[in-house]
Amino acid sequence: MPFPTVPYIPLQISETERTSVAESVFTEMDSRRSVRQFSSVPVPRSLVEIAIQCASTAPSGAHKQPWTFVLVGDPDTKRKIRVAAETEERENYEGGRLPPHWREDLEPLGTDWEKPFLEHAPWIVVVFEQRYGTRVDGTRQHHYYVKESVGIACGMFITSLHRMGLSTLTHTPSPMAFLRDLLERPATERPFILFPVGYAASDCEVPDLVRKPLGDVLVTYPAPD
């Protein structure tokens, strides 16, 4: 059965405003940074829920919306997540599980096995990819382009948080299968990215990174004259 169709009316922006809107969107997104130091100032649950709703507007393969967001705010669960993540990361950094090239690439970022932000941030959002779904009759529902779909949803999530003045970190403790057990998710789901969410600490510092200029990331085909 095809979906019924409805007229689509995109945002109405005048030609004269379009370039300034484009530039301000870029400037705003260019000011986003991944944050590892969070304030413990509370963030209303409703704000994070709106960011999750925003993420869940993402396009997805065959519109299957193959994602689950788990919102964690209680200190006990956050502590359990921190302890389990640090156990894995300690093995990475100090047990020799990170290959030398990876350690070298992380060195400028100054990351280590300790993850205090997992307790300091008021919220943790763990995004799970649904490898497949279950229909009401219990049969298996195929999902398509799951990583692409969930990746786009995560991008929209961090965009939404940034626009609200909130900060996050795209954290992937490795391996992170422990999150499925700890958060009691079914075997059909796999943890994808963990996001601590909160206000950046007032003394928060971030690495002074430089982003690649357009010319390094864009290839125009055919080459312009």
Residues of this chain that bind ligand IYR (CB under 6 A):
89, 92, 106, 109, 111, 171-174
146-163 and 15-30 helices, crossing angle to 10°:
90
Minimum CB separation of residue 18 from ligand IYR in Å reads 35
Asked whether 206 and 34 are in contact (CB, 8 A), the reply is yes
Q: Which is closer to ligand IYR, CB of 111 or CB of 141?
A: 111
Instruction: State in angstroms the smallest separation of the CB of 105 from ligand IYR.
Output: 7
In whole angstroms, the minimum distance from the beta carbon of 141 to ligand IYR comes to 31
- Give me the residue label for tokens 């999530």: 157
Rounded CA separation 37/110 (Å): 13
Using CB atoms, what's the residue nearest to ligand IYR? 111
Tokens 């413990």 locate to 40
**Whole-number minimum distance, CB 98 to ligand IYR, in Å?**
7
Q: Is 77 exposed, middle or buried (0-12, 13-18, 19+ CB in 10 A)?
A: middle
169/188 with CB nearer ligand IYR: 169
Closest to ligand IYR by CB, 60 vs 182, is: 182
Element (H, E) at 21: helix 15-30
Pick between residue 23 and residue 114 the one whose CB is nearest to ligand IYR.
Answer: 114
